[in-house]
Amino acid sequence: MPASLTDTPLGRTIADTATDIWNDSCALDELEYAVAFGAVGATANPTIVVDNWKKEPARWI
């Protein structure tokens, strides 16, 4: 985990407890960022999916 996260409450929780972090988005840039900080999965709902599709339609068509 990057050092900057270990100095935060979330970072300490990840480091000190049996905690898995999931990202609530399917935006690829957000997923890459979350995985870099230890996320192990992602969730989404129809609203999130549509918002991301509208934001980057060329990527999804």
Tens-digit pLDDT profile for residues 22-61:
999 889 999 998 888 888 999 989 999 999 999 999 988 8
3 within a domain of the structure (yes/no): no
Q: Which residue has the higher pLDDT, 33 or 14?
A: 33
Query: Would you say the C-alpha torsion 6, 37, 1, 10 has a positive or negative sign?
Result: positive
- pLDDT for res 5: 67
Q: Kindly state whether residue 9 falls inside one of the protein's structural domains.
A: no
The answer to whether residue 49 sits within a structural domain is yes
Domain count, the chain: 1
Residue 13 lies in a domain: no
Report yes or no on 34 lying in a domain: yes
Is residue 5 one of the residues assigned to a domain? no
Asked if the structure places residue 45 within a domain, the reply is: yes
Domain containing residue 22:
18-60
